[in-house]
Structure formats: structure tokens, C-alpha cells
Chains A and B, each alone.
Chain A
Amino acid sequence: MKESVFVSLLLLLVASVSVHAADSISTTGRISLRGTGHIDHEGANEDPDLTARLEIDARKTLWRLHAFIEGGWDGTVRDQPRDTSLLKDLTHVYQDNSPFAEFKELYLERGIGNMEWRIGIQRFSWGRLDEYPANDLLNPWDYNRFLIKSTEDRKIGVPSVSVNVNTKDWTCQLVWEPWFVPYRLPDPGARWSVVPAGSALTGNQEAQITAQEPDLPARTIANGSLGLRVQHPGMIDWAFTLFHGYDPRPVFKTTTLTISQSGEKLRIGPGFEPSFHKITTLGADGATVIGDWSLRAEAAYTFARTFNVRQELWGYPQVLEPGVYSLNPVEVERSSLDYGIGADYRLMEDWLLTLQAQQTEIFDRPASLYEKERETLLWANLKVSWLNQKVETSLNVAYNPEHGASMVRPGIVYILSDQWKVSINGLLLDGPPQSIFGRYAHNDQVEMTVTFSW
């Protein structure tokens, strides 16, 4: 309810500013048609989807209004959607509306002296690393089509108030998110869903698993999130960050597994639901150039983050039979340190190599966790442009040595004209079922996208 009022008010503002803004209005947009071909046929299917995005920027003197709307038909939604509303909301973890519309951003900005105030739905980008920036905690992610979407596209815009104070040598950004907004997960059975591995729930085609929508933390001021970032540019650009609020990374708590027979199918209440925990994170990041290398690094220490134990310890029965089963507690709280370093190196003109190594260290790690005491992720990306950047090829490889999980993403983009482009991207995933890439090991695919932009 609060969101509808909030969005309506902002829409009214968009309309009024658009009508009266004499200074400038600019719009950009794009329409994409995407089709997916499956290499591994064990994964769930996906239909072609058609999506559009529109960005509007209206200005009047010191005021600015920015709207970024995305919508269309989501090909990952194949069954009859439970949610028939058009607008994606900020209160549900499982949302399968198609067609859909979503405000990725919708805010009003006002400059006052060396300060800029923004109020509305915002996305933030803190930290320096390309993948999993440890200090980028202000926006929860949408895990639908996870690993296909870029980090920025995964982010869910959150209602927030932010203020930037800019001086000659410093920039200070303070963000307050008064309402808790949960991450979004695909429905169990959807292509990008993750259900506890090592149980009979995995890959059981005869079972209909219904996701359990969790109760969200009360919408009180105390349950808001707060972030502070202080930046200093120079020979080394560095920044310190502080975040206090709900952890945007998904974890689950167990409830009760319920299995009932419905015709020939089993109806399953899977006995787990997303759970939400507050964290406090202190972080720092920096970037500099040394010779031909552009370097960046970041680290974040999180006090008392919640992890899930290995999925074989959740207490699922190995054979599914109608009944009610209690499951084991699965949450463990530990402090952790995330850190990483990234580098860009131009091998030759139009050949850019990007490398990144990052680790997560879990302090006082219990043996029940799947994650090792130190988890490593290595990334390499080679991007090569051809024919005056008319064609761009890329090869992205990621490897998690602790579990032998890997991902390979080759891609090619052909720019047909200023408006049209075609891209073909592959995705190959491998690893044990609970590992970061192995959990999607059945999702090997090739997708083709045709995009028109204006």
C-alpha cells in the first residue's frame, strides 16, 4: 500500500515536471527480443521474451527527475502466473508476473550548493569489483536469470533518500532506506530456481513445489538500512564505506515440509523460506593505475552474517511420501571478510583483458557449512572489438577452485546500425550441485537477442 502511494506520487511528479519542464527532457529506450536454446535438456524450459526499457530525464533549474522503467513479457514464466498484477512490487520474494512493469529507478533530485538530494527509487553502485563487489549492499538482487544478467541489471531499485556532499577533495554519500525491500527468487521449478540439493526435491518432475512466501520484517524505521560512503580522488582513488541493514544475499530458514497427494502429482510445501538478517559491514576500496595496468581492490568485514549449512543436513527425507516432516535448523551466524583485486590490461588496441580474484573468509567456520574457510573466485574476461567496434567478441571464464566449479560465457555482438544490434551469448556451467555455478549446471544454453534502441 505504502509503495503504491509512493509510486503514484512520484508518477504524478513525473507527469507534472514533464509537462512544465521547460529546461530539458531527454528519453532513451530499447526493445529486446530474446530466445534461448538449451544445450542441456535437463533444465527447465524458457520461452522467448520481449522486454522494453525507457529512461526519462527531465530538468528544471536545480530540479531533476529521473525515471527508468522496464517491462514486457518474461519468458521464464511458463506456468499460469500466480501474480497477475502488472507492476512488480517491493514486498514479495517470489514474483512471476508476465507481462510485467518495474520502476528500476524513479527519483527526484535537487542540488543545493555542494549538496545533491535524491528521493525515490534508486540503485547504487558501491565498491570497485565487477562481480560481487563486497561493499555493494544497498540494493537486493533479482535472481531470476542470474548469471545471465549484468550486476546492474540484477539490482532492484529501493525507495531511499540519499544526499551527496561534494567538496574539492572529498565526496560523501549518505543513504537511508526507510523500508525493507527483499531480494527476488525464481519460483521452484523455474529455470533459475535453486531448491536444496541432496534431497528428493531436486529434479522430481512429478512433484509440484509451491514456494513459501516469507513474512517480511516489520516496516519500521528501525528496520531500515543505512549506508555511508566517503570517497577521495587522487593518484589512488579510495573510499570507505559503512553499511548497516538487511543482508541482500539470500539465506533460508527451515519450516515444515508438507507433502500431499493431488491426483498423480505430489504437492509439496518445501519446508524452507527466505530469511532476513541484519548485518553491519565496514569496507574500503581503491583504484589506481600502474604502468599499463588499471588496478582496483576492495575489502569488506561483515559482523555476524548468516550462512546456511550444507543441504544434506537440512533433514529432507530421501524418498518423498505424503506427510509432515520437521526439518533441522539450518542457519549459522559468523563474521566474514570479503576481499578482492581486479585489473584491466590492454593487450593491444581493442583487446582488453580483465582479471579479478576475490575471496571470502569465514571466521570460526563450523564444519557444517558447505563453504570452505576461504572461498575463492577467479574471473577472466577478454573483450575484443573488430571493424571499428562494429563487432565485439568476449570470453568470460570464472572458476571456484575450492569446489571445482566453473562458468564459461562466450559472446558476440554485431552492431548493425546506430539503432539495431544482434548478440549471441553462450553459457556453460559445471560443478558440484551446491557450488556457486554447479547449482545451475543444467542451465547450459545459447541465447540470441535482437535489440532496437533509440
Chain B
Amino acid sequence: MNRYLLTALCLITLLWQTTCALAMTGREVYEKVHELRQKALDRQTTATLVLYDKGGSTRTRSLIEYSKKADPEAYKVLVVFQTPADLKDVGFLIHARTFADRDLWAYFPEFKRVRRIPTTSQDDAFFGTDFSYDDFGGPPNLDDYVFTVQGEETVDGKQCYILDVTPKVHRKYTRFVAWVAKDLWIHLKIAYYQDKVLYRAGSFTDVRMVDDIPTSFKIHMENLTTGHKTELTIDDIKYHTRFPDDLFSQRSLERAGR
């Protein structure tokens, strides 16, 4: 009897230790997310954004995003609008020296001048959409956040970690909650809070594997304060593009990446 009890206790202890070893911390989850986002940095994306206002009218923008993993720099991104005519060839450029330190430039063909933008604008609305400039940047600096696993939930049939993410530096949001798909390591849902008020929420659907990289082809973002919504659809995406550095120069920004 004692022998059975001892074996059961050993098994329980072993199971408990294994569970502890397998359970991930919030930071570990985001390291996985970060790893995947780094892997996905060399890419070209063509996307369409449809903006829905509260009254039901819509506006459409299309853009091309080029990005590159850059050593010793963290990454470079160039985003250029294709439509509407008013925004055609408007672009912005990011040079991230590290994930925490980056330079931003914008170019408006109407003024024919490249303008530097403070990084404090990164949480502002991206050209009237419900996305922020930061949503089009590369992976964040993990040291700037505190990650806490709050639980698990199934979203669109995929098991997710629910994480509470609090920035250590000043941001427009005081925290956000992210649903990160286990094994895929991408967001399936996100909710931004200013103190206790949920003001912006997004969902990531139509997940497909492209070159072994899980990619959400449809992102829906809503501003819950204004009722304005934006739907981003990826029309085309290519990974492992290995663009030359020239593409990410101010000259290239002026020339809309051409």
C-alpha cells in the first residue's frame, strides 16, 4: 500500500514539475512572437485598407510596405500609398537602430520635402485609419514592457494565451491585452486600454501559412470611442525578399520606393 502511495506521490510531483516547466511566462510568449516577427521582417506587402465611419460611408487606401531585417540595425521599413490620388506616393520610412531606438521620416509629394517625425507620434492614427504608425513598424523592444499571462482561451478554434502587456515607457495606451495563438505565435485579438477604458480593439483573421510564416490576411481594427473602423486586407505578401539598402533611403522615400 505504502509502495503504491509513494509511486503516486512521485508521479504527482513529476507531473507538477513538468507542468511548471512547460507553462510559459508572458515574456517567454512574447519572445516567441518577437522571433517570428523578426523572421517575417524581410517582406513586401500589398494591402488595402477600407475605412468605415459611423455613418456608414467608406474610404479606401492601398499601400505597399517594404521591410528588411538590418544588421547591426534592427530593421528598416518603407510604406508608400498607392491610392487614393490625394495620398499617392505619400510615404514614411523607419530606420530602427535597435528595437528601442528608431528614426522616422515622412514624405508628402505636395511639398516635395522629406520631414522628420518624432517617435512620440508612433501611437497616432495612421493616415485617418484606426491603425497606429507603430502597427506598421517592426517588432517592439521587449524590455520596454511587462508581460503577464492572464489565462488561456480559444479564438477561432485556436488555443491562445491571454497576455496583459504594460508599457514601462509612456505610450498612448496604459496597457493592452493580446490573444497570442499557441504554436503560431501571432496575435488573434488585441485590445488597447487607457486606464480602464477599452478604446481600440482589433482581430486578426484568415490566417494562412506563407513560406512557413503564419500570416493574418485580414485585420479588423475599431476605435471604440468614435465608432470608426478599419479593415486591412493583405492582397499580396512575399517573404525573404532581401531588398537592397537603397530601397530604404530618403531618396527612395522621395521616389515612392521606385
* Chain A residues at the B interface, C-beta cutoff of 8 Å: 28-30, 59, 64, 114, 123, 125, 128, 130, 150-152, 164, 166, 168, 171, 231, 233, 235, 237, 287-289, 291-294, 296, 344, 346, 349-350, 385, 387-390, 415, 417-419, 421, 453-454
Quick one: CB contact mask for B120-161 with A, threshold 8 Å, 1 for yes?
110111011110000000000000000000000000000000
B113 near A171 (CB under 8 angstroms)? no
* Partner of A419 from B53, B57, B84 at Cβ < 8 Å: B84
A selection of 29 A-B contacts at a CB cut-off of 8 Å is A28-B88, A59-B258, A128-B113, A130-B111, A152-B110, A152-B112, A166-B246, A171-B251, A233-B249, A237-B114, A237-B116, A287-B115, A288-B116, A289-B117, A294-B115, A294-B116, A294-B118, A349-B123, A349-B124, A349-B125, A349-B172, A350-B124, A350-B125, A387-B226, A388-B53, A388-B130, A389-B127, A390-B53, A421-B86
Closest to B83 in A: A418
A152 near B111 (CB under 8 angstroms)? yes
Cα(A31)–Cα(B32), bound, Å: 51
Please judge, given known A-B contacts A289-B103, A388-B129, A415-B59, whether A64 and B85 are in contact too, CB under 8 Å.
no
Question: Does any Cβ of A come within 8 Å of B250's Cβ?
Answer: yes
A-contacting residues, B206-258, CB 8 Å: 223, 226, 228, 245-246, 249-251, 258
Question: Does any Cβ of A come within 8 Å of B51's Cβ?
Answer: yes
Cα(A168)–Cα(B246), bound, Å: 7
A29 near B85 (CB under 8 angstroms)? yes
B118 near A292 (CB under 8 angstroms)? yes
Please judge, given known A-B contacts A166-B249, A390-B128, A418-B83, whether A291 and B60 are in contact too, CB under 8 Å.
no
* Partner of B57 from A64, A233, A417 at Cβ < 8 Å: A417
A287 near B116 (CB under 8 angstroms)? yes
Quick one: CB contact mask for B29-61 with A, threshold 8 Å, 1 for yes?
000000000000000000000010100010110
Cα(A150)–Cα(B116), bound, Å: 20
Closest to A59 in B: B258
**Across the interface, which residues of B come within 8 angstroms of A171, CB to CB?**
249-251
B110 near A237 (CB under 8 angstroms)? no
* Chain B residues at the A interface, C-beta cutoff of 8 Å: 51, 53, 57, 59-60, 83-86, 88, 103, 110-121, 123-125, 127-130, 172, 223, 226, 228, 245-246, 249-251, 258
Please judge, given known A-B contacts A168-B245, A233-B249, A418-B83, whether A289 and B128 are in contact too, CB under 8 Å.
no
| Nearest Cβ on chain B to A427's Cβ, whole angstroms | 19
**Across the interface, which residues of A come within 8 angstroms of B250, CB to CB?**
171, 231, 233, 237
* Partner of B112 from A123, A235, A390, A415 at Cβ < 8 Å: A123
With A150-B110, A235-B103 given, can you name 9 additional A-B contacts, CB distance below 8 Å? A59-B258, A114-B246, A166-B251, A233-B249, A233-B250, A346-B120, A346-B121, A389-B125, A453-B85
Cα(A421)–Cα(B128), bound, Å: 15
Top-4 shortest CB links A-B:
A389-B128, A125-B112, A453-B85, A418-B84
* Partner of B226 from A150, A231, A388, A418 at Cβ < 8 Å: A388
Cα(A273)–Cα(B186), bound, Å: 70
| Nearest Cβ on chain A to B216's Cβ, whole angstroms | 23
Cα(A231)–Cα(B253), bound, Å: 15
A387 near B53 (CB under 8 angstroms)? yes
**Best-surrounded residue of A166, A235, A294, A349 (most CB of chain B within 10 A):** A294
**Across the interface, which residues of A come within 8 angstroms of B249, CB to CB?**
166, 171, 233
Closest to B54 in A: A387
Cα(A222)–Cα(B135), bound, Å: 53
Please judge, given known A-B contacts A288-B116, A294-B117, whether A164 and B251 are in contact too, CB under 8 Å.
yes
Closest to B60 in A: A418
Cα(A346)–Cα(B116), bound, Å: 13
B85 near A388 (CB under 8 angstroms)? no
